[in-house]
Amino acid sequence: MRGLFNNILRSCGLLSAFLLVTVVAAVVQRDVNTQLITPATDQNLTWWQTAIFYQVYPRSFKDSNGDGVGDIQGIISELDYFVDLGVDCIWLSPVYKSPMRDFGYDISDYKDVDPIFGTLDDFRELIQEIHKRGLKFISDFVPGHVSSDHEWFRRSVKRDGKYTNYFVWSDGKLLDNGTRVPPNNWLSVFGGSAWSWNDERQQYYYHAFDPHQIDLNYRDQNLQWEIKDTFRFWLDYGVDGFRIDAFSQLFENENTSLDEPLSGNNVPPTEYAYLNHIYTADQPDSLPILTSWKNVVDDYSKQDGKVRYLVVELYAPPNVRNKIYGVGAVPFNFDLISMGTHPTGRDIFSKVMDEYINLPSGKWPNFVLGNHDQKRLSYRYGAQYVNVFNILLLTLWGTPTTYYGEELGMLSANISWENTVDPQGLGAGPERYQLFTRDPSRTPMQWSNDFQAGFSTGNTTWLPLAENWATLNVKTENSSSQQTPYKLYRQLAHLRKNQAFQTGTFRAALVTDNIVSYLREGTLQRYLVIMNFGQETTDDYRNYGGPAATVVAITPGLTGVQEGQRLSLDALKLEPGQGVVLLLDQDFVPTIG
């Protein structure tokens, strides 16, 4: 078998061989002679390192009262689904009290649950029921802004005591003709000026997103205390950690007279991408604030010995997001989300290796394929590739995060301008809303082929059902006699509990424009993962002969191959979007050199 892996390395080229030698991974042992990257198997892994995270968008998961909107009791009714699927931690998008202009990300009370979702008692019951099943729970936290309905903003408008400077206020600029205008050219993520005028206070206020989402001023010490107290409130309820929303926009430059430079992007001047956001994103002031939050979380961990998790949302290159590791939190790695419409095998493998290469020593990698702000996986890369992306996500070294419905291969809904409700889409206008709207990826979870896909008993749902819901749902995929996306995900989730996929060696095998394949080698078992992300059928392994291996997972529709079958690599032919996970024979020892 020495010749097989010599050929594979030659097929990868010098770049891949170089990558294999130079990866800097978490607590690893590196043997430059064998070119192996080996996470230390004796380290004491925390729960979040071995967990599969699953994001629940509460409005769309399960409706318990027939009003067409998902709620907490609906989630409670389906908790056994997570156990069956094999995921370990639920990340819940916001259920705080809110006027719902941005569907929960515009919070009017950090310490209450919105009635549309339930009550604080429902929230407590949810956490208790999650923990009874041996699962973990992290809550979405939105620290950058609050709703214009929030008491803090109403009192700040009135310059009421300590609340006066809870937000970023400016007199603006007075032009020669006497007209008052915003202080600078800063743009909102949702489009248009990031400044809005308040008649009562006679000043502009800053909002990085919707005008009803008012940015908080973290230079105010009282505000800092309020937010830390809010963390403690939910930690007392028993949450296992937090996902920090929109961390890049937490701070803006204190000098509001500075205009941001043009980006050079060919977009309308009102769109966010028109500027280069050097004064309003990823500011150094944010890190000390994050450190203070991490200290609050760690205090609770020290009190009861239960590790809490803090994961941060920011879309940034490794040199920026790695600063999050420096304060003890974890930055989401979104590199696999935006790769163009037809990424090649080499493109995808390069993104994986970027995470491993740039990972600070002693830290743990993670991968994300989708969330409530992105188009669905099936939309971005094509429905036929959902299964191989799920194989990738669940067999890489590092913590994976799945967005609800991706385990089914859910499709996007076709939502007209007239039926659009997402403020980001509405802000773009009828000609460009489809570029920005997030509605199509937030449609109701598809539980069955029954009325309203089993999501609700109501006659309407807050968003329409996505395409093919009658056949693409949990009940149909689970009961099918054939392999399905749901069954594949469940197989992979349980396979991931194997030590080979948690702390085993990661090593590239064959990487081409079509194929991404790699070895995951543990102390007892070794696996070969092979996926075709290309546009054509491939039998790239035809020249390599054996080894004979046992099939442990396959994508739906892979003819002539079934679970438990003995397979020789030279007999493997994969259509675009097909993949397989093989358990290698014990007597097969791959060698390099």
**pLDDT tens-digit series, residues 513-531:** 999 999 999 989 999 999 9
**Which tops the pLDDT comparison, 560 or 260?**
260
Q: How confident is the model at residue 546 (pLDDT cuts 50, 70, 90)?
A: low
On the question of pLDDT at 189 being above 70, the answer is yes
Percent of the chain with pLDDT over 70: 91
Of 49, 40, 70, 23, the C-alpha closest to 401 is 49
On the question of pLDDT at 313 being above 80, the answer is yes
Q: Which two tokens stand for residue 393?
A: 């996500």
Q: Which two tokens stand for residue 159?
A: 């310059």
The mean pLDDT value for 530-554 works out to 88
- Structure confidence at residue 11 (pLDDT): 36
pLDDT mean across residues, the chain? 91
- Structure confidence at residue 571 (pLDDT): 86
- Structure confidence at residue 43 (pLDDT): 64
pTM for this one?
A: 0.93
Q: Which helix (H) or strand (E) holds 3?
A: helix 2-22
User: What does the radius of gyration of the chain's CA atoms come to, in whole angstroms?
Assistant: 25
Q: What would the DSSP string read from start to end of 366-396?
A: EEE---TTS--HHHHH-GGGHHHHHHHHHHS
Q: Which helix (H) or strand (E) holds 282?
A: none
Q: Which two tokens stand for residue 324?
A: 């999050």
pLDDT, tens digit, 9 for 90 and up, residues 131-176: 999 999 999 999 999 999 999 999 999 999 999 999 999 999 999 9
**Which tops the pLDDT comparison, 588 or 93?**
93
Least confident of 2-16, 68-82, 188-202, 229-243: 2-16
- State the catalytic residues: 245, 313
Contact in structure between 508 and 14 (CB atoms under 8 Å): no
Handedness of CA 54, 59, 60, 62 (dihedral sign): positive
On the question of pLDDT at 548 being above 90, the answer is no
The mean pLDDT value for 532-559 works out to 88
